[in-house]
Amino acid sequence: MSSLYMLFGTLLALGVLVTIHEYGHFWVARKCGVKVLRFSVGFGTPLLRWYDRHGTEFVIAAIPLGGYVKMLDSREGELTEQQQAYAFNHKSVQQRIAIVAAGPVANFLLAFVFFWCLAMLGTQEPRPIIGQVLPQSLAEQAGLKAGLEISAIDGNSVVGWSDINIQLIRRAGETGLLRIDALVPGDSIATGYLLQLQEWQRGAEDLNPLVSLGLIPWRPTVEAQLTQLDAQGPAYKAGLQEQDLILAIDGQPMASWHEVVGYVQAKPNQQVDVLVERQQQQLLIPVHLSARGDEQQPVGYLGAGASSSAWPDDKLVHTRFGPVAAIAEGANRTWLMSSMTLASIKKMLFGELSAKNLSGPISIAKVAGASAESGLRSFLNFLAYLSISLGVLNLLPIPVLDGGHLLFYTVEWVRGKPVSEKIQTWGMQIGIALVMCVMFFAVFNDITRL
In this prediction, residues 71-75 reach a mean pLDDT of: 89
**Cβ contacts of residue 135 below 8 Å, gap of 6+?**
214, 266
Confidence of residue 443 (pLDDT cuts 50, 70, 90): confident
In this prediction, residues 189-197 reach a mean pLDDT of: 92
Query: Residue 414: enclosing H or E segment and its boundaries?
Result: helix 402-415
Query: Residue 102: enclosing H or E segment and its boundaries?
Result: helix 93-121
pLDDT at 450: 62
Q: Which amino acid is at 334?
A: T
pLDDT at 79: 80
Confidence of residue 334 (pLDDT cuts 50, 70, 90): very high
pLDDT at 295: 67
Cβ atoms 285, 238 nearer than 8 A: yes
Cβ atoms 94, 413 nearer than 8 A: yes
pLDDT at 298: 84
pLDDT at 384: 93
- The helix/strand count (H/E) of the chain reads as 13, 18
Least confident of 189-203, 255-269, 349-363, 366-380: 349-363
Active site residue 22: yes
DSSP string over 354-369: -GGG---HHHHHHHHH
pLDDT of 155 above 80: yes
Cβ atoms 386, 371 nearer than 8 A: no
CA angle, residues 122, 127, 130, in degrees to nearest 5: 155
Cβ neighbourhood burial of 101 (10 Å; 0-12, 13-18, 19+):
buried
Least confident of 17-26, 309-318, 395-404: 309-318
Distance CA 102, CA 318 (A): 36
In this prediction, residues 392-412 reach a mean pLDDT of: 91
Domain 226-311 belongs in CATH node 2.30.42.10? yes
pLDDT of 173 above 70: yes
pLDDT of 405 above 70: yes
Q: What proportion of the chain, given as a percentage, has pLDDT over 70?
A: 98
CATH class of the 130-218 domain in this structure = mainly beta
pLDDT at 32: 94
3-state SS, residue 440: helix
- Phi/psi of residue 87, nearest 5 degrees: -85, 140
- Decide which of 98 and 222 is more confident: 98
pLDDT at 262: 87
pLDDT at 1: 47
As a whole number, the mean pLDDT across the chain is 88
Question: How many Cβ atoms are within 10 Å of 117's Cβ, its own excluded?
Answer: 15
Whole-structure pTM value: 0.79
In this prediction, residues 418-426 reach a mean pLDDT of: 86
Residue 448 CA from chain centroid, whole number: 19
Active-site option among 22, 149, 259, 352: 22
Confidence of residue 441 (pLDDT cuts 50, 70, 90): confident
Note whether 130-218 and 226-311 share their fold: yes
Domain ranges (residues) in the chain:
2-120+378-449, 130-218, 226-311
Distance CA 180, CA 153 (A): 5
